[in-house]
Amino acid sequence: MTDRRTYLADAIRLYLDSPGAPRRASRSDWAVATTLYNRGVPLEILAHVVRLATLRRHRPGAALEPVHSLAYYRRVLDQLTPEALDPGYVNYVARSYEALFGESATPSSQGAVSHRQNRAVSDRR
């Protein structure tokens, strides 16, 4: 597993860069990220949860409801079934997410920066 500091930063980036997320993380978001780290949740699983939860909230032609806390994704994580972690399904969710939102929701800082820039552009429309 990644060191604590890197994990927390990447977890918060995944959250803030997801569609409908606020611009800044709260103290409680950092506390949730710490809990996820302490539980040993891999960032790849958290990225899958972000994609899956976002797709569940998506309604064609409607704006996504905002997500107010990283805790929302923790609840989705806690409800995961073995089928939801099947590699074929994980790939399907990743492809669907990328097709709808044009990004991959990966725990890399390079992806986070480019998404933030894309989000700023789309917010102006």
Average pLDDT, the chain: 83
Domain count, the chain: 1
pLDDT value at 79 more than 80: yes
pLDDT tens, residue by residue, 9-36: 999 999 999 998 999 999 999 999 999 9
- What's the predicted TM-score (pTM) here? 0.78
Which residues lie below 8 Å from residue 25, measured CB to CB, with a gap of 6+? 12, 15, 16, 33, 70
Considering Cα of 20, then 51, then 99, then 104, what sign does the dihedral take? positive
Domain housing 65? 4-123
